[in-house]
């Protein structure tokens, strides 16, 4: 079972870019399977995601630089060094927004379970995750196609 710790070269980690968010997938590069570790950069005017919450997965964010706005039922500006935690099952949709003119950088750590239910309260959307498969429903359980996500 032994083995040395791996030093992850960020240059070898996969990067996903979408809608002003750059995600450096450190956990993928390091071969981790139990949790995700990502460095995310929000461009000016970008938001981390739709407001959402997870039934099964925990999330933790450590703000590294910049001042995002935490949007839940209210808003607050976390600062570098602040840690934000969203335990699984806590039914408060959350997102980070960058309303400044500078980039915001933060580390996201979260559980990576094969199954989860993700609630998107602003979009009447529930995502049912089962491995790589996704199924979408309205909040009342009626089926919804992937094209109807917004």
Residue 2 pLDDT exceeds 70: no
Residue among 32, 28, 46, 56 nearest 129 (CA):
56
The domain defined by 12-114 folds into Jelly Rolls (2.60.120)
Model pLDDT, residue 146: 72
Model pLDDT, residue 12: 87
Give 45-99 pLDDT, tens digit per residue. 999 999 999 999 999 999 999 999 999 999 999 999 999 999 999 999 999 999 9
| Domain range annotation of the chain | 12-114
One-letter-per-residue 3-state SS of 33-82: CCEEEEEEEECCCCECCCCEEECCCCEEEEEEECCCEEECCCEECCCCCC
pTM above the 0.85 mark? Answer: yes
Burial string for 88-118 (b: 16+ CB within 10 Å, else e) reads eeeeebbbbbbeeeeebbbbbbbeeeeebbb
Q: Could you tell me if 59 and 37 are in contact, meaning their C-beta atoms sit under 8 angstroms apart?
A: no
Phi-psi region of 12 (alpha: psi -120 to 50; beta: other; left: phi over 0): alpha
Model pLDDT, residue 1: 53
Residue 13 pLDDT exceeds 70: yes
Model pLDDT, residue 4: 77
Give 106-123 pLDDT, tens digit per residue. 999 999 999 999 999 999
Give the chain's mean pLDDT.
94
Residue 135's DSSP bridge partners are: 128
């Amino acid at each position: 079972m032994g083995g040395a710790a791996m030093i992850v070269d960020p240059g070898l980690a996969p990067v996903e870019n979408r809608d002003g968010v750059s995600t450096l997938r450190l956990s993928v590069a390091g071969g981790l399977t139990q949790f995700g570790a990502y460095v995310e950069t929000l461009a000016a005017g970008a938001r981390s995601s739709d407001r959402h919450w997870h039934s099964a997965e925990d999330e933790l964010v450590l703000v590294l630089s910049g001042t995002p706005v935490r949007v839940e039922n209210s808003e607050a500006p976390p600062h570098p060094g602040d840690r934000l935690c969203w335990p699984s099952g806590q039914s408060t949709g959350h997102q980070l927004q960058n309303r400044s003119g500078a980039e915001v950088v933060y580390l996201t750590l979260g559980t990576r379970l094969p199954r989860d239910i993700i609630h998107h309260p602003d979009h009447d959307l529930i995502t049912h995750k089962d491995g790589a498969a996704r199924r979408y429903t309205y909040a009342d359980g009626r089926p919804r196609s992937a094209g109807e996500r917004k």
